[in-house]
Amino acid sequence: MLNFLGLALICLLSWLLTKEIRRFALHKKVMDIPNQRSSHKVPVPKSGGLAFIISFYAGLSMLVFTETSTLYLTLPIMGITFLVAGIGLVDDLHPLSARTRLLIHFIAAAALIVLFQGLPPIQFFNNTLWPGPWADIAAVVGIVWILNLYNFMDGIDGLAAIQAITVGIGMAAIAFLQGDTFHLWPILMLVGAVTGFLAWNFPPARIFMGDVGSGFLGLVLCALGLYLMKLHLITFWAFLILMNVFLIDATYTLVRRILQSETLSQAHRRHAYQKAALKFGHKPVSLGAGLINLLWLAPLAILAALFPFFGALLFVVSALPLLAVAIYFKAGQAD
């Protein structure tokens, strides 16, 4: 009961902090100015992600105090994610070079892999793959990709927040169904913190999370996913399935742009979700992504966790409709 009360307080704290950060951003003119990549037409306050970051850290600290989490999880995750959140906040205020941001992202991703002593074994039908150094290097690249695609996909009101909330619910549901009611609380604290922010970010958004928030969310979801993998509560394939709304759209768009020999650093609005938002509006697309997570991807991820033999197959099954959507909206192609 105490943890449920704490979860409600974390959600309220995030709501209040977002309100104050919005007021400060308006006063100091910390605004997201529309550009080629933007789906909004007027300046909007940014860096609101700082609210759910502080609230999440407060939630983790509370869990340690109530002995519902451990310092082994709390301190390293706070330290590593703070590094990425910090560089994101600096970038929000004074744009940094892509090289500087990527360097910090790779350092943080490598620290995460070292913290959890590499990837856990991955089941591929009847075979068990035992990752080694090369797999860990690939994992670092994969984490950096997820971290950055969260920034790419944070392009319409509410989408990145709803994605984090529903992915978190999926991860917590898997832990619960595996009989673990201890390690799901850090995930629920993240869900509560982002929910408080979403009240201000829901279409039409009154504040954006900014790079400080999007990079943090990509990294912290990887951190929590790796933690649950190490505890054998979630599998590699189940985690990827939960992330597939963002993974498929961003990866397909990137591949198409590479095949068209485009300059990848050039701002654009060619993701499937952006094209869908132009046609249907922000709210239906963001809510639709959340429903896909809850009604399609989460059940498949649960099956992948409970029946690891079918994990790789379920990943493919989960990805195919999302790939069809990306193809339908001609993601990566110029209008």
The tens digit of pLDDT for each residue in 124-172 reads 999 988 888 999 999 999 999 999 999 989 999 999 999 999 999 999 9
Q: Which of 15-29, 113-127, 171-185, 263-277 has the lowest mean pLDDT?
A: 263-277
- Confidence bin at 218 (pLDDT 50/70/90): very high
Whole-Å CA distances, 243 to 149, 177, 301, 322: 11, 19, 10, 11
Average pLDDT of the segment spanning 31-57: 88
- Residues 6 or more apart whose CB falls under 8 angstroms from that of 316 comprise none
Name the token pair of 250.
Answer: 């961003």
What does the pLDDT look like over 70-84, one tens digit per residue?
666 788 889 999 999
- Confidence bin at 39 (pLDDT 50/70/90): confident
pTM: 0.96
Residue 142: per-residue pLDDT = 96
Q: Which of 204-213, 252-261, 290-299, 305-314 has the lowest mean pLDDT?
A: 252-261
Residue 38: per-residue pLDDT = 66
Residue 261: per-residue pLDDT = 79
In this predicted structure, the answer to whether residue 104 has a pLDDT above a threshold of 70 is: yes
For residue 47, is it left (φ>0), alpha (ψ between -120 and 50) or beta? left
Q: Domain limits of the chain?
A: 2-29+43-328
Residue 4: per-residue pLDDT = 87
Residue 147: per-residue pLDDT = 94
Q: Closest by alpha carbon to 79, among 209, 216, 197?
A: 216
- Which three-class secondary structure string do you get for the chain? CHHHHHHHHHHHHHHHHHHHHHHHHHHHCCEECCCCCCCCCCCEECCCHHHHHHHHHHHHHHHHHCCCCCHHHHHHHHHHHHHHHHHHHHHHHCCCCHHHHHHHHHHHHHHHHHHCCCCCCEEECCEEECCCHHHHHHHHHHHHHHHHHHHHCCCCCCHHHHHHHHHHHHHHHHHHHCCCCCCCHHHHHHHHHHHHHHHHHCCCCCCCCHHHHHHHHHHHHHHHHHHHHHCCCCCHHHHHHHCHHHHHHHHHHHHHHHHCCCCCCCCCCCCHHHHHHHHHCHHHHHHHHHHHHHHHHHHHHHHHHHCHHHHHHHHHHHHHHHHHHHHHCCCCCCC
For the chain, the average pLDDT equals: 92
Residue 71: per-residue pLDDT = 66
Q: Which of 32-36, 142-146, 175-179 has the lowest mean pLDDT?
A: 32-36
Q: Which of 13-17, 83-87, 139-143, 182-186 has the lowest mean pLDDT?
A: 182-186
In this predicted structure, the answer to whether residue 179 has a pLDDT above a threshold of 80 is: yes
Q: Which of 20-24, 71-75, 226-230, 288-292 has the lowest mean pLDDT?
A: 71-75
